[in-house]
A and B are shown apart, each in its own frame.
Chain A
Amino acid sequence: MSFKLKTILLFLGISLIPYILTMLILGTSYYKEQHESIIREMDMQIHLTVERVDQSLESLHKDMAFMAKSDSMNDIYTRDLDHRIANTLLAKKMDMNLVGDFFVFDSNAIVIASSNFSFIGKKITLKPFFKVPIYSNLTQQKIGELAVNYPIENFKHFFYNTPDRQYFIRYKDGRNELRLANFPDSLEVVTTLKSNPNLSIVLEEEKGFAFKLLYKYERWFLILLIAGGIFISIAAYFVATLLVRPIIKLSSVAKKVTKTQDYTQQVEIHRDDEIGQLSYAFNSMIDGMNHALGEITALNQEIEDTQREVVFTMGSIGESRSKETGNHVKRVAEYSKLLALYYGLDENEAEMLRQASPMHDIGKVAIPDAVLNKPGRFDEHERRIMDTHAALGYEMLKHSARPLLLMAATVANEHHEKWDGSGYPRGLSGENINIHGRITALADVFDALGSDRIYKKAWDDEKIFTLFREERGRHFDPTLVDIFFDHLEEFLIIRDRLKDHEG
């Protein structure tokens, strides 16, 4: 993973994680608060309702206690002949809009008076909602009971029901009554009536309705969270990129330098901080490297030049003893390079051969003068001595590690080998002879035949060409002979250019 990507991810992480955590914490605490406040609001509502109901029931109870003390209750003695009590009860019932009835019982549970006249005189058993004893203010004894029958319907007008919230009654045993709607998912708060602990009022709210505000906020909260997250991500990305840019610049220049090996490259970062310092140091380093490299290259070049010169000089030395002019060495070198190029060797190898082939006769320095400079024909003994110059040259050069000198060693060793294997020192044939040797052999013979020597005069060109044709495939590599004849002109040009000067 790249540094840039790592930095960006790190920044994102550092900024998003706390943000998300905070938002979540805020969100949950807000949610809880809302939930609590919804429950509180419902509690308040139900307490108000319960208070109203309790107050109403209490005042009913008080009213009944008051009625029980009134003088008209004395009419119990007259069995309410004149229906004074009954009318009072009826008036009270009308006044209260009561669904239900008041009853005055005597000690035998017979109805003396009631707001429903049809009950008067009958014996009924009733489980009253409230009952109050009636005491005679003449005898101070209990002479009856005032009771009220208060059906659940009466609670209806306290309940302000809407489609989303409803009130209903719950008995102590858990039974519900007056529950009109069935909410599948709802919140409930329950409060028991003070005036009748067997009854409780329940406020039920549809969850969707109760939480509607909360749900709305929830949606907004999510949108905000995501928007915030995106914003933070973008900001983090840009900040990270901004921070990373100089580093990237630095690294890209370094990469370019490595790739192109162009040490003139510089990083363009101009800052005062550590990154600026780093880039300044980087530039200085590259500059230094560039200089050093330049010097090394120059030095290298010098070494190569020196090496070339030395080799050339060494080749010249080899030829100097045999009284051949230095140009023979140059011509052979050139012929070798040309042949190499046309044979298919690459420029470097051909150039190396040009530098190496002049040393083919280096071994001659170890040949005694008497043999080397004998004007006439060699005898067998002298021939054998003369022929050792190839192996001797090889021996001289084979210890070097330098490729040029190793090539020169091979050339020295194999420039007298013949295609048909009749050469010396090893009698190699065909392609066993190193191509460098084969090339040098042809080049050397061409130049020897075309130059004056101590033991002979220069041949005519026709004679030379006839020999070459004859020796094609015998002395010389047939391919090389073909190349020679194909590019004869060029060879002749070289010979002419590098002609020996008289004197």
Chain B
Amino acid sequence: MTIQKVGLILGLIVVLQADPYALGHGVQVDKALNVGGYFSTEFSVQGGEKTLAFEDLAIMAYGDVNPMFSYMTEFESIGFYQKNLTNGIETSHRQFHAERAYGDVWLSDAYNIRFGKQITPIGYWNREPINVLRDMSSNPLYCSLLFPKFLTGIDINGYIPRVEGMTYHLFGQKNPDLDDEYVNIRNKHFFGLSVEKELSTEYSSGGSIGEYITLTEQRTRFLQLNAKYDDVKWQFMSEVLLAKSYYSSGDIDITFTGYAQGMFRYSAENAILGRYEHFKDHHVGREDNIAIVGYSYRPSYPISLKGEYQLHSLDNENRALFSFSVLF
């Protein structure tokens, strides 16, 4: 609770002191201190159960201490407040946890070192992990189940010299997470390499390989590929991941997942979307195909209102989801 209060107060002070504020751009108190935040709310109907959630609430502070060194911190509370409207159960987690806390040391465009708790630099969906920056409320299974969304370690990244528009990320973690409250897969060993190439203004593509070992000593290796086409009117995005897990029982099993999403922006504010996901876990024998249609309304980019309907191949998983989120 105190972090919240501190954050709010800081925010107020900052707002009072800083330049004119524009939504979505944060408040620049100083080159070395920029403050922002976001929240998202969701309303879900699944199998007769209605839930309303104030899902995310976060505050960020970042800045450039000097041309070479910068930092980012973000504190988030997930599941800030949830009410199951069907049975009236309320839950709330008022605790804020460190979602990101890292520093960047820029040595050159080819070598930038980021150390600390950061977003795992794999694919597209994972790198924009908040509701407001996404066009669809729900996350594809590929993202939440198959690799750690955050890593606490070191990521060396930059432009690959002599190649136009190609970046790489070489990352590693050999320690437990900084704040593993919201980490989807807790691990103590995570290494990977990802590359991304900008083929043109519209086309980009990339891929990664990696390995991680969970706290329960389960090792998983994966191969991931992603591609995107993005222009003013249309956006197509697709990612696939193939993971091989070594279970403690001795089994070695494959999980394959992927999605493909298309979006049509018929105005700056409105867009309709469709997504298809496939998920197959050979170890547990779970296979799911999900089709989602969605609609996104952004009166201004940092404000997002979305609605979607999910059709699952697995019984009773069909779901209607609405969300409202804002980035400050």
Chains A and B directly touch (beta carbon < 8 Å): yes
Question: Using Cβ atoms and an 8 Å threshold, which residues of chain B touch A71?
Answer: 28, 31
- CB within 8 A of A137: which of B17, B28, B29, B66? B66
A68: nearest chain-B partner, CB-CB: B30
Is A198 located at the chain interface by the 8 A CB criterion? no
A498 to B152, CA, bound (A): 170
- CB within 8 A of B67: which of A66, A69, A137? A137
Is A466 located at the chain interface by the 8 A CB criterion? no
Question: Using Cβ atoms and an 8 Å threshold, which residues of chain B touch A137?
Answer: 31-32, 64, 66-67
- CB within 8 A of A138: which of B28, B29, B30, B67? B67
Say yes or no: A70 contacts B30, CB within 8 Å.
yes
B17, B28, B30, B32: which has the most chain A beta carbons within 10 Å? Answer: B30
B28, B29, B31: which has the most chain A beta carbons within 10 Å? Answer: B31
Say yes or no: B31 contacts A69, CB within 8 Å.
yes
Q: List A49-69 residues whose CB lies under 8 Å from chain B.
A: 66, 69
Question: Using Cβ atoms and an 8 Å threshold, which residues of chain A touch B66?
Answer: 137, 140
A140 to B66, CA, bound (A): 7
B64: nearest chain-A partner, CB-CB: A137
A140 to B32, CA, bound (A): 13
- CB within 8 A of A140: which of B17, B28, B30, B67? B67
A71, A137, A138, A139: which has the most chain B beta carbons within 10 Å? Answer: A137
A70 to B17, CA, bound (A): 11
A71 to B66, CA, bound (A): 13
Say yes or no: A69 contacts B32, CB within 8 Å.
yes
Distance to closest chain B CB from A352 (angstroms): 133
Question: Using Cβ atoms and an 8 Å threshold, which residues of chain B touch A139?
Answer: 67
A140: nearest chain-B partner, CB-CB: B66
Work out how many contacts link A and B, with CB atoms closer than 8 A.
18
A139 to B66, CA, bound (A): 8
Q: In the complex, how many residues of chain B place their beta carbon closer than 8 angstroms to a beta carbon of chain A?
A: 9
A72: nearest chain-B partner, CB-CB: B19
B31: nearest chain-A partner, CB-CB: A137
A139 to B31, CA, bound (A): 13
Bitwise interface map of A from 119 to 147 toward B, beta carbon under 8 Å scored 1, else 0: 00000000000000000011110000000
Distance to closest chain B CB from A422 (angstroms): 156
Say yes or no: B17 contacts A66, CB within 8 Å.
yes
Question: Using Cβ atoms and an 8 Å threshold, which residues of chain A touch B30?
Answer: 66, 69-70
Question: Using Cβ atoms and an 8 Å threshold, which residues of chain B touch A66?
Answer: 17, 29-30
Q: List B24-73 residues whose CB lies under 8 Å from chain A.
A: 28-32, 64, 66-67
Bitwise interface map of B from 89 to 113 toward A, beta carbon under 8 Å scored 1, else 0: 0000000000000000000000000
Question: Using Cβ atoms and an 8 Å threshold, which residues of chain A touch B29?
Answer: 66
A376 to B28, CA, bound (A): 182
Q: List B1-33 residues whose CB lies under 8 Å from chain A.
A: 17, 28-32
A71 to B34, CA, bound (A): 13
Distance to closest chain A CB from B195 (angstroms): 31
A70 to B63, CA, bound (A): 13
Distance to closest chain A CB from B259 (angstroms): 41
Distance to closest chain A CB from B63 (angstroms): 10
B33: nearest chain-A partner, CB-CB: A69
B29: nearest chain-A partner, CB-CB: A66
A140 to B67, CA, bound (A): 8
A137 to B30, CA, bound (A): 10
Bitwise interface map of A from 270 to 284 toward B, beta carbon under 8 Å scored 1, else 0: 000000000000000
A139 to B30, CA, bound (A): 16
Question: Using Cβ atoms and an 8 Å threshold, which residues of chain A touch B28?
Answer: 71
A138 to B68, CA, bound (A): 10
Question: Using Cβ atoms and an 8 Å threshold, which residues of chain B touch A70?
Answer: 30
Question: Using Cβ atoms and an 8 Å threshold, which residues of chain A touch B32?
Answer: 69, 137
Distance to closest chain A CB from B152 (angstroms): 29
Question: Using Cβ atoms and an 8 Å threshold, which residues of chain B touch A140?
Answer: 66-67
A69 to B33, CA, bound (A): 11
Distance to closest chain A CB from B284 (angstroms): 53
A69: nearest chain-B partner, CB-CB: B30
A70: nearest chain-B partner, CB-CB: B30
A69 to B17, CA, bound (A): 13
B17: nearest chain-A partner, CB-CB: A66
A71 to B28, CA, bound (A): 10
A66 to B19, CA, bound (A): 12
A69 to B18, CA, bound (A): 12
Distance to closest chain A CB from B258 (angstroms): 44
Distance to closest chain B CB from A218 (angstroms): 52
A12 to B28, CA, bound (A): 86
A140 to B64, CA, bound (A): 12
Question: Using Cβ atoms and an 8 Å threshold, which residues of chain A touch B17?
Answer: 66
Distance to closest chain B CB from A133 (angstroms): 15
Bitwise interface map of A from 67 to 110 toward B, beta carbon under 8 Å scored 1, else 0: 00111000000000000000000000000000000000000000
Q: List A135-177 residues whose CB lies under 8 Å from chain B.
A: 137-140
A66 to B14, CA, bound (A): 11
A137: nearest chain-B partner, CB-CB: B31
Bitwise interface map of B from 285 to 328 toward A, beta carbon under 8 Å scored 1, else 0: 00000000000000000000000000000000000000000000
A403 to B17, CA, bound (A): 137
Distance to closest chain B CB from A77 (angstroms): 15
Distance to closest chain B CB from A64 (angstroms): 13
A65 to B17, CA, bound (A): 13
A66 to B17, CA, bound (A): 9
Distance to closest chain A CB from B33 (angstroms): 9
A62: nearest chain-B partner, CB-CB: B17
Interface contacts beyond A137-B32, A139-B67: sample of 16 additional A-B pairs, CB < 8 Å, sorted by A? A66-B17, A66-B29, A66-B30, A69-B30, A69-B31, A69-B32, A70-B30, A71-B28, A71-B31, A137-B31, A137-B64, A137-B66, A137-B67, A138-B67, A140-B66, A140-B67
Q: Give me 18 A-to-B residue pairs in the complex whose CB atoms sit less than 8 angstroms apart, sorted by A's number.
A: A66-B17, A66-B29, A66-B30, A69-B30, A69-B31, A69-B32, A70-B30, A71-B28, A71-B31, A137-B31, A137-B32, A137-B64, A137-B66, A137-B67, A138-B67, A139-B67, A140-B66, A140-B67
Footprint of B on A, CB under 8 Å?
A: 66, 69-71, 137-140
Closest 6 CB pairs of A and B: A137-B31, A69-B30, A140-B66, A71-B31, A138-B67, A66-B17
